[in-house]
Structure 1
């Protein structure tokens, strides 16, 4: 199997959602840099790609609850992690996402 070179070539299947965690701020509004130990891992992520949706028992496609570009709240654990170069991504099922963040 060849290594995935570009995350844009990954197309989630069924009801899967590809997200990337939003990195927490390492600097305060006043410009003070925070040590890594004080910066908690965020549970916010940006949706990069979504599958077409799962099928119900009648063969009808169920719509996805999020779209690329949406910000979502993801669970602390779970999902399928992916690494492309130095970048980290995670695949979740649509129903595993906790919330959509409306801004």
Structure 2
């Protein structure tokens, strides 16, 4: 299924949570924290400005971003978990 976000929304997929601590202890599924990094899968058309034009995105498809743990709306597409969020919820882009 192909998904196209609308307006200033982006579709992201969270990166996998760490399964082992830095000291080598394996974490059970219930102890893992939500990862705060995600990969941008798709972007919308851009925010509609007062002038009627669309603002350019500061992120692009394929970027790795840092986001809030509790931001966005989780959705399931073809059995995979994604998040739809506003570009304003993106904290940073990882280079």
Under a length normalisation based on structure 2, what TM-score does the superposition of the two structures give? 0.84
Instruction: List gaps (5 residues or longer) in structure 1.
Output: 1-5
CA shift, 1:51, in A, is 0.5
Deviations 1:42-91 (A, max 9, x none): 11000000011011101121001111100011111131211124311110
The equivalent residue for 2:38 is 45
The equivalent residue for 2:6 is 13
* Pair 1:26 & 2:27 matched: no
Shift in CA distance, 78/28, structure 1 to aligned 2, threshold 3 Å: closer
Q: How many residues align?
A: 95
The equivalent residue for 2:93 is 100
The equivalent residue for 1:82 is 75
* Pair 1:72 & 2:43 matched: no
CA shift, 1:32, in A, is 6.9
Q: Specify which structure has the higher proportion of strand.
A: 2
Instruction: List gaps (5 residues or longer) in structure 2.
Output: none
Q: CA RMSD in A?
A: 2.0
Under a length normalisation based on structure 1, what TM-score does the superposition of the two structures give? 0.79
The equivalent residue for 1:91 is 84
